[in-house]
Structure formats: structure tokens, C-alpha cells
Structure 1
Amino acid sequence: MAQVENVTTAKPKIDGAIYSAPKGTTLPTDAKTALDPAFKPLGYISEDGLTNSNSPKSDGIKAWGGDTVATVQTEKENTYSYTLIESLNINVLKEAYGDDNVTGTLKTGITVKANSKELLEHPVVIDMTLRNGVYQRIVIEFGKVSEIGDISYTDSDAVGYEITLTALPNTNGDTALIYIVDPNAETNPGGGE
């Protein structure tokens, strides 16, 4: 039976939505446990929010005469796209240019090296709040910044880094784990909710 209560929108949690950590950081295994302190917030993202592309691509096998008689999945890339708009946030700069290419602080001066060093895969967590305060957490163990859009410097828009993050598979073949929980739900002592 269709239920209106299952329809939702998504908003970033109050303290941010996207967190990045060095490879090997302990990953969360639910939607509400506090993150390991190694996860650093990447601040505000643009009003366009987050887009997840996770559609398989297939090739059709044709029989003599032109009928498609089978399809074979050729790939299933899982990507997340978003624009980081806190361009003065040192963590954002490290996400876009790489940890080794960003040094300093705003107070002492930041140096960013733009070069062709390949960005390394690392854990990324995306936290959001759904309808009625339900938490959703996307945990990507091996996220790799695979594309950065053009950076525009204008007086009418925030300087932003349009990121495409490719989620690479872990040892189980999972590109991401998605956890959802209602933190306000009362647990029934009999085991049901």
C-alpha cells in the first residue's frame, strides 16, 4: 500500500553534509554514530545539492534479423556530484588539489600547488536529514575525485569546486553503503519498532 510518509526530500545535517578522511580511517557502520575525528567537514555545498549517478550500462545482443535477444551489463559506475562553495576552507582545497598540494592557513597564508599529481582514493561520508528527522548516511570507502568542473571567479557567484567523486568498490564489491535510521523512534522491548 502506498504511504505518503515514505515520500521525502533531503537536506544537509546542521553541521554539514560531506566529510573527507585519509585512507585507512575507521568507517561508520550506521547512520547516527559520531564520525571518527579524522573526517573533516567540507562545508557548504551549492543549492543544487548532491546528485548520485548509479545506472548500469548495457550492450544488446542481437539475433540474425535484428531482434535484441539479450543484454549484457558492461559497467555500473557509481558517482556523486556536488559543488563545494567554501573555497577558503583548507579541507575543500585539499579535496580539490590533494593533501600534499595545499599548505598553510588563512592567517599565515595558504599555498596551493596546481599540478598533474593524481588524487588518491579516500573515505567520504555524506550525511543528510530526510523527512521527520530521519538520518541517511552514505559511506564511500574508496572515493576518488575523478573530475573537477571549471572554476569561475565572478562578483555574482560563489567560487566553487564542482566535484565528481567516483565510488570505487571495496573488497566486497560494494561502492557505497547507505544507512538510514529514525533516531527518534522508540524501540519496543519485544524487539520490534
Structure 2
Amino acid sequence: MTATKNNKKNVSLGKPMVAGVAYRAPAGTALPADATSELDDAFACVGFIGSDGITNATDTDTTTETDMGGVTVINEISSYAETYQFIMIETKKESLQARYGDANVTEQEGKISVSHTMPTGESSEWVFEILMTGNRVKRIVIPDATPSEFGDITYNSTTVIGYDVTWAANPDDRIDGATSKEYIAPLGAAAAAALVNTIDKA
């Protein structure tokens, strides 16, 4: 039996790609199926993400039953949910549409109008491009994301204006019923240059 040894090259920080980290597209857009292929043109970068980065959380409920003698006879996960939370810190059409909904944001000749209304729960797709230590890239694909929670927005002279949204990742048949899917690959110099060029939609 071959033992797998510790390897510090597998320990990684998560940093944004130079061109951006978070990309949003309308529901039904073609999904990437690997870590480095070109994204569909419908994916638009929502801009810089706050210093806390992207938080991926899971929530599970467990059904446990014991018999009359106190012996556990069943212990199974009965529900599972996954969310992604982050703060968009650029004020532009793409980030505002992600926060307030596509139909509520218009832009013409650099002038933006935003209507604050009851969220509709519209579905969208997200792709996160994360540069890992050791010259690797992780791509996280969420085929069906709906907004589930909105953070407060603070306006003052010391806090950056940010749009805090938590997204529920919903099961999707295109990734075999999963809620999201990760792809990880080495990123050579040529691949890195090509990837930066293809995802630079900011």
C-alpha cells in the first residue's frame, strides 16, 4: 500500500484572478465544464469583492431515532442546503443588477437608475474564478442561484459602499442534481494568459 505524504504545495490561499473573481449570467446560459475553458459571453464580472471574500456555507438537518433501550437505530441526513455569500464593492450596472434585479437597473450614457422593490427571487448563474497557491485555478460553477438574504448598506466617510448578498445554490440537473460544482486545474504560463484574456469582461 502506497502512503500519501503531507505536501505543503496542496495548502492554498484563495485569491481572485487579475481580471476578476465573480461572474454572473442569466439562467439558461451555457455552463463551463472545466477549470480553464472560455466562459460564455453572457457572463459578466460584478467587480471587486470585499476583503472577506466568498463564504460557502452548508446547512444540514439530521434525523435520529432510538429504540426503547436507547440504542440509535437511524441517524441520517434528512436535508441539505448550500449558500454563497459575498459583498460586491463596485457600484456599477452588473453589481447593482445582481443586488436589485436585472429589470430594476437601467444605464444610459453613464447614468444609472435603480428601483428598490420587493426581491423577485430571480434565478441566475454564477462562476467564481479563484487563483490558488501553487499556480492552480479553482472554478466554482453554480447553475441555479437565487438571492436568499441581503446585508445592510452603510454610507459614511470610512466604510466602502458594498452590496452584500447571500445566494442559495439550488440543485440542477445539468450538474447531476448537485447544487454547485468545482473544477481545479494546473495553470501554466500560457494557460494563465489565455484565461485572463477570456474572463476579462469587466
TM score, norm. by length of structure 1: 0.89
Cα 1:65/1:161, change in 2 over 3 Å: farther
Cα 1:169/1:40, change in 2 over 3 Å: same
What is the one-letter code of the residue matched to 2:21? A
- Residue 100 of structure 2 corresponds to residue 97 of structure 1: yes
Cα 1:75/1:106, change in 2 over 3 Å: farther
* 1:119 shift after superposition: 2.7
* 1:65 shift after superposition: 4.6
What is the one-letter code of the residue matched to 1:121? S
The total of aligned residue pairs comes to 184
Counting only pairs closer than 5 Å after superposition, residues 11-30 of structure 1 correspond to structure 2 as 11-30=15-34
Q: Distance in 1 between matches of 2:109 and 2:19?
A: 21
* 1:149 shift after superposition: 0.8
Q: Which residue of 1 aligns with 2:155?
A: 153
- Structure 2: which 5+ residue stretches go unaligned? 190-202
Cα 1:9/1:117, change in 2 over 3 Å: closer
Counting only pairs closer than 5 Å after superposition, residues 22-171 of structure 1 correspond to structure 2 as 22-86=26-90, 88-105=91-108, 107=110, 109-171=111-173
Q: Distance in 2 between matches of 1:146 and 1:13?
A: 26
* 1:61 shift after superposition: 1.3
Aligned residues with identical type, % of pairs: 34
Q: Distance in 1 between matches of 2:61 and 2:131?
A: 30
What is the one-letter code of the residue matched to 1:91? E
Q: Which of 178, 182, 186 does residue 182 from structure 1 map onto?
A: 186
What is the one-letter code of the residue matched to 1:94? Q
Cα 1:118/1:64, change in 2 over 3 Å: same
What is the one-letter code of the residue matched to 1:35? L
Q: Which residue of 2 aligns with 1:188?
A: none
Residues 89-122 of structure 1: CA distance to partner in whole angstroms, max 9, x if unpaired?
Answer: 1100000000001112472x21111111413111
Q: Distance in 1 between matches of 2:75 and 2:109?
A: 54
TM score, norm. by length of structure 2: 0.85
Higher relative contact order (CA 8 A, sep 6+): 2
2:83–2:167 CA contact under 8 A, matched in 1:
yes
- Structure 1: which 5+ residue stretches go unaligned? 186-193
2:10–2:134 CA contact under 8 A, matched in 1:
no
Corresponding residue SS for 2:81: coil
Q: Distance in 1 between matches of 2:84 and 2:180?
A: 11
Higher-helix-fraction structure: 2
